[in-house]
Amino acid sequence: MWACNSGKHIENGHIHEMNDRLKSLISVDQPIEVLAEGFEWSEGVVWDKKNECLFFSDVPQNTIYRWDVENGLQMYLCPSGYGADDPNGVELGSNGLYFANENRQIICDSGLR
């Protein structure tokens, strides 16, 4: 279903630099590597500097995933938003992630609206 650290690169993709500050974070000449695949749609991508890992949501699957170099892809939280037995729509899971002060993770969702 998904491949972690697949070594697969997006051949015709490129990073479009819109601000010179981007160069202080990444090399815009590096190839884009696929870390994982097989999701319906992903949102809320956020980097955890303290733990050196990436978090993102697969909204329709109501799941937050965690990715790091050592462990690859792992399910982090499911359900990530809507927790009732009778789903009332397709946007069930979290769709926004953020790290606030003291590395507290904030999860936004629309599943219970």
DSSP string for the chain: ---TT---B-TT------SGGGGGT--TTSPPBP-----S-EEEEEEETTTTEEEEEETTTTEEEEEETTTEEEEEESSSS--SSS--SS--SEEEEEE-GGG-EEEEE-TT-
Same domain, 20 and 60: no
Same domain, 68 and 99: yes
**pLDDT at position 15:** 83
Same domain, 4 and 51: no
**pLDDT at position 71:** 96
Which one is predicted more confidently, 102 or 2? 102
Which one is predicted more confidently, 112 or 98? 98
Structural domain that includes position 62 = 39-109
Same domain, 20 and 68: no
Same domain, 57 and 90: yes
How far is CA 40 from each of CA 17, 32, 50, 60, 63, rounded to the nearest angstrom?
Answer: 27, 20, 28, 7, 11
Same domain, 95 and 105: yes
Which residue has tokens 């936004």?
108
Express each pLDDT in 59-89 by its tens digit: 888 899 999 999 999 999 998 887 776 666 6
Domain count for the chain, please give it: 2
Same domain, 65 and 100: yes
Express each pLDDT in 8-63 by its tens digit: 666 667 788 899 898 888 888 888 888 888 998 888 899 998 999 999 999 888 89
**pLDDT at position 4:** 43
Same domain, 52 and 92: yes
